[in-house]
Amino acid sequence: MATLDNLTDREKEVLKYVVENFIRSANPIGSRSVSRQTDLHLSSATIRNVMCDLEEMDLLGAPHTSAGRVPTDRGYRYYVDVLMESEKLSNLDERSIKSRLEEANITVVEKENLYAETSKILGKVARLLAVVSEPNISKGIFQKLEFVKLSSNKILVVLNILSGIIKTVILEVDSDISKQKLDTLASTFNERYHGLALNQIRELNPGKLHDYRQKESGVINKLINSFDKMNADEEKGSKIFVGGTGDVILQPEFENPRNFKDIIELAEDRNLVIHIFQNNVKSDNDMMITIGSENDDEKLKNYSVVTTSYNVGEVKGNIGVIGPKRMNYARMISLLKFTSKLINEISGH
């Protein structure tokens, strides 16, 4: 029997055909279909023998209800690693994502809406669960801030992070502070902390480090508290957005009520989503694909996860899709690459 290192060309072609047609149709693939549709010019009986060999190698499996075969987790893995050809994203998909993001009309101040919106759009186009995290702002390099007085006890802080990320924070202060004092305070803060990462500034604790007047010290302390909150939000995943629940349930796998319930629970399990990004994303923006049993979490054993990270200058965020193992992996890779590039462009403006 052939090993996975040296599958014959015939075995490779049959496996490739079965995987790609099962992805397309969601129906088990029979030997007659392979015999008719491939260029192998082999009889159904010969194809059946090849499929039996692939089954012995645990690359194909046979559902009880059908004479056809479906890929196993191992079969999908071999396909993704060895047989899959890259697929250029269709113009329709590109236009669809681009135009929907343009329609969302995200302004500079509403950048956080970009990530929520992207998860919805990606979920709709992929017809899978799409997961997008905001960039990891607390590691961003501080450029400058501006204080805008909204009322006697409310101040809007506009934070500029290197690479064009703008974050707004509203501070509630105990007593009124003049615009002139706020401008001086901003100027002093910018001079001292320009070029440091936000989490470095947090650790320096500027409110205690410098001799500000009481009112000013109160503003600075509240600002640093807002940095703490940003960091805590990132750690607990409240800046992760999941879209596409309404689209993934249209896949044939979820006609079964139990599977339907499982995917809904998966979409709502924030801890699991955080866990996926902690374990599945490589630091160098490569694609990471985990299939079925390769996933650590029991809830993901029937699913595949494709993840990558995107850059906004020095800051990284994560993006991925979760869905049935019967997903078009080549298309998902192109879709994530294109969407990551788009996020980068929009965030950098």
What pLDDT is stored for residue 134 in this prediction? Answer: 84
Residue 45 CB coordination number (10 Å): 9
Q: Sign (positive/negative) of CA torsion 33, 38, 43, 47? A: negative
Q: What is the pTM of this model?
A: 0.83
How would residue 331 be classed by pLDDT, with cut points 50, 70 and 90? very high
Comparing 277 with 64, which gets the higher pLDDT?
277
How would residue 1 be classed by pLDDT, with cut points 50, 70 and 90? very low
| The pLDDT of residue 335 is above 90 | yes
- The predicted model gives 175-183 an average pLDDT of 87
Three-state SS string over 73-91 comes to HHHHHHHHHHHCCCCCCCH
| The pLDDT of residue 209 is above 60 | no
Task: Sketch the domain layout of the chain as residue ranges.
Answer: 4-83, 91-134+240-347, 138-236
Mean pLDDT of the chain: 86
| The pLDDT of residue 122 is above 90 | yes
CATH number of the 91-134+240-347 domain:
3.30.450.40
Cα Rg of the chain, angstroms:
26
| The pLDDT of residue 239 is above 50 | yes
Cα-based angle 155, 158, 159 (whole degrees, multiple of 5)? 130
Comparing 215 with 150, which gets the higher pLDDT?
150
How would residue 284 be classed by pLDDT, with cut points 50, 70 and 90? low
Per-residue pLDDT of 95-105, as tens digits, reads 999 988 888 76
The set of residues, in sequence order, having a beta carbon less than 8 Å from that of 301 and lying 6+ positions away, is 292, 293, 295
How would residue 3 be classed by pLDDT, with cut points 50, 70 and 90? low
What pLDDT is stored for residue 274 in this prediction? Answer: 84
What pLDDT is stored for residue 213 in this prediction? Answer: 56
Answer CATH for 138-236 from 3.10.20.30, 3.90.650.10, 3.40.50.410, 3.30.390.60: 3.30.390.60
| The pLDDT of residue 107 is above 80 | no
Per-residue pLDDT of 56-80, as tens digits, reads 999 999 887 667 899 999 999 999 9
The arrangement of secondary structure in 4-83, i.e. its CATH architecture, is Orthogonal Bundle (1.10)
What pLDDT is stored for residue 108 in this prediction? Answer: 43
What pLDDT is stored for residue 165 in this prediction? Answer: 78
Comparing 240 with 212, which gets the higher pLDDT?
240
